[in-house]
Copies of this chain bind each other. A is one copy, B any other.
Amino acid sequence: MGCAVEGQGDTVTATVLPDRPGHVEIESIEGDGGRLTLEAPKNCVGIAAIETLKLLGSPSCGVSLKLQKGLPLGSGMGSSAASAAAGAWAVNALFGAPLSKQVLVPAGLASEAIVSGYHADNIAPALLGGFVLIRSCNPLDIQQLSFPGDLWFVLVNPVFEAPTAEMRAVLPKQVPMASAVHNSAMGGSLVAGILQGCAKATGRALDSDCIIEPVRGPLIPGFAAVKKAAKDAGAYGCTISGAGPTCVAVTDGQQQGERIAEAMVQAFRQSGPLEVNSARVVRLDHEGARSI
């Protein structure tokens, strides 16, 4: 499962390339510190655009793209999915938006599969907004879950390149039965919290993962202190966003969020070597990818 939040995001500008059917070119990328390739078939926005052109029935022109990164790379906030969602939506919009966002999900997923791994929990909410439950990735089977009420997240992103290989290697191949039962109950509890619009239940379910967080948390210096500080400051729960290193806390208002953010930043500073890159209080987004 994943969800979209308001605020930071990637922006893609798409222009018609006449007489270049199927061709996608990336004109420029800003905000990535020069780290992303301009080769479309190897870039998340490029791949999503290529796949979207196919879904559009291979029109007789191509597209040129400009990408402005709003999300930091390798932050655990779904940066590649943000680019892919923006790319797919921009190309679709360029042709009058004949395709629904649901139909665009596979285009974004093809991009994720190449640059980040075959999983829909970032790309589906980035396109659709809100919470999206991934019932199955193959075949793709997703369900939007609407949260009736106000939900806020505190996202604290430390200056830390999460060691992706280690973050993956540390995941156990086998899980104790009791942990599987617990996390399955938490999966149910999370969905109940969302559908009933209960920030407290949502935060609590996210807080009590006993499979992933216990092994990944220790790889993020200061995480335990940050989690404790968030909850002491009133957060309903705090965990790792994606594979980290961003820490995410759940609350139900902006003011509480600001207090929690301050406590989390201070905990990072006091506990370890990590500087804080950004601390943001953001609301659940219900719209997903959009034309601006």
| Interface, chain A (partner B; CB < 8 A) | 1, 133-136, 143, 145, 171-177, 179-180, 182-192, 195-196, 201, 211
Contacts and interface: CB of A to CB of B under 8 A. Distances in A.
Contact of A195 (B136, B183, B192): B192
Contact of A189 (B143, B173, B182, B189): B143
Q: Which residue, A133, A179, A180, has most C-beta atoms of chain B within 10 A?
A: A180
B177 A133 contact: no
A201 B145 CA distance: 13
Contacts of A173: 176-177
Given A133-B189, A143-B189, A191-B192, 6 more contacts: A135-B185, A143-B192, A143-B201, A187-B187, A187-B188, A191-B195
* Residue of A176, A190, A192 most packed against chain B (CB within 10 A): A192
A2 B143 CA distance: 23
A213 to B, nearest CB: 14
Contact of A133 (B145, B182, B188): B188
Contacts of A188: 1, 133, 187-188, 190-191
Contacts of A171: 177
B177 A176 contact: no
B133 A180 contact: no
B134 A192 contact: no
A181 to B, nearest CB: 9
B189 A135 contact: yes
A275 to B, nearest CB: 33
Contacts of A174: 174-177
A198 to B, nearest CB: 10
